[in-house]
Amino acid sequence: MARARQKNGKDRHQEILEAAARVITERGLADTRIQDIAEQCSVSPGLILYYFESKDRLLVEALTYSNDRYYLAQARDLRRLDSARDQLWRLIDLSVPGLLPDFERLEEWALWIEIWVRALRDPALAKEREVLDRRWRQSIADIVRLGRTTSEFAEGEDADEIGMKLGALIDGLAVQVLMNDTQVGPVHMQRMCQEVAASLIGFELEPATSA
């Protein structure tokens, strides 16, 4: 009774969600039409509505689905590093839009802003947003806690508090970098995040900032 799959192993649901995320990134949530998503999948518009109850539901699902994927990829990436300091630096690098060619994050930040706008009026999405956001701050706080158990970092301010501050800083700067602000480029953002992180956690930066 297993649902027949199409050529590639993927599920149509996922395929559509990914296509939707791509279209939203390109055209913006407000200008995304069902037709566009259908074209991304090379299927007919009718099929999209066969798999999703409505356009609205699909879009919201696409936003959170996509964010989730990015988060998991990031978590996997960080887990490979032993040192808390390395993890923190890596997390910053991964968060800077357009810093790492392979892992640009441009797409994700654009989607994240769309989530904000929509969450203002969509209570269900608002709840989702809070969960996703908490997880993100948490991952920073966890790195701080890790560093303290291994004595890489000294004890100090509450780790969750640091997570909120650093998380908010990264959010704010990422928006500006994403907007191509001429005064806040990726490398500049990276340095500022490192400086604030060092100050919040309480360690010295080496003179030669790690790339």
| From 126, 145, 148, 203, residue interacting with its own copies (rule: CB under 8 A) | 126
| From 22, 85, 105, 129, residue interacting with its own copies (rule: CB under 8 A) | 129
Beta-carbon neighbour count of residue 62 at 10 Å?
A: 25
Would you say the C-alpha torsion 107, 109, 115, 117 has a positive or negative sign?
A: negative
From the list 32-40, 62-70, 91-99, 106-114, the region that binds DNA by CB under 7 A is 32-40
Number of H helices, E strands in the chain: 9, 0
We find the least distance from the C-beta atom of residue 122 to its own copies, in angstroms, to be: 10
Q: Which two tokens stand for residue 110?
A: 């654009």
Q: Of 15 and 122, which has the nearer Cβ to its own copies?
A: 122
Measured in whole angstroms, the distance separating CA 18 from the mean position of its chain's CA atoms is 15
Q: How many residues bind DNA (CB under 7 A)?
A: 19
Q: Does 14 bind DNA (CB under 7 A)?
A: no
Q: Does 142 bind its own copies (CB under 8 A)?
A: no
| Contact yes or no for 188/153 (Cβ under 8 A) | no
| From 14, 26, 28, 54, residue interacting with DNA (rule: CB under 7 A) | 54
We find the least distance from the C-beta atom of residue 46 to its own copies, in angstroms, to be: 24
What is the spatial distance between Cα 56 and Cα 67, in angstroms, rounded to a whole number? Answer: 17
We find the least distance from the C-beta atom of residue 184 to its own copies, in angstroms, to be: 6
Q: Does 147 bind its own copies (CB under 8 A)?
A: no
Q: Does 172 bind its own copies (CB under 8 A)?
A: yes
Residue 29 CB partners (closer than 8 Å, separation 6+): 59, 63, 114, 117, 118
| Contact yes or no for 200/162 (Cβ under 8 A) | yes
Q: Which residues bind DNA (CB under 7 A)?
A: 3-4, 6, 12, 32-35, 42-47, 49-50, 54-56
